[in-house]
Amino acid sequence: DGGITQSPKYLFRKEGQNVTLSCEQNLNHDAMYWYRQDPGQGLRLIYYSQIVNDFQKGDIAEGYSVSREKKESFPLTVTSAQKNPTAFYLCASSSGQAAADTQYFGPGTRLTVL
């Protein structure tokens, strides 16, 4: 069954802690993305990667870090420098082969800071 998985579904973080959100895809897609969704706001791009071992900052990268060591995986670390990390985090992937290829989303991780 092809798709995108994210784990965990719910994550609780204490202030000052770093946490890592997992994103895996078996669609053989080259490009992967991380978005943040807050109530009443559209999805905002945090980081994206169009190829293994390369990634670019999105619109709200401060306080986040990523790695892309394998084609299938694109983990996101929320660092203690992120001042307001409570949000719904969405990972997406696309083939990366077309000028406007469709992005497919995972089920999301809800992060809450205690």
Q: What's the distance, CA 51 to chain centroid? A: 15
- Determine, following the binding rule CB under 8 A, whether residue 21 of this chain makes contact with another protein: no
CA distance 83 to 74: 22
Tell me the pairing of strands 10-13 and 109-113. Answer: parallel
Q: Given the rule CB under 8 A, which of 12-20, 62-70, 74-82, 91-99 is the region that contacts another protein?
A: 91-99
Enumerate residues 28-67 that contact another protein by CB under 8 A.
Answer: 31, 33, 40-45, 48, 50, 58
CA distance 2 to 14: 34
Minimal distance, residue 90 CB to another protein, in Å: 6
- Determine, following the binding rule CB under 8 A, whether residue 8 of this chain makes contact with another protein: no
For residues 1, 52, 109, 114, the Cα torsion angle rounded to the nearest 10 degrees is 160
Give me the residues that bind another protein (CB under 8 A), please: 4, 6, 31, 33, 40-45, 48, 50, 58, 90, 94, 96, 99-100, 102-108, 110
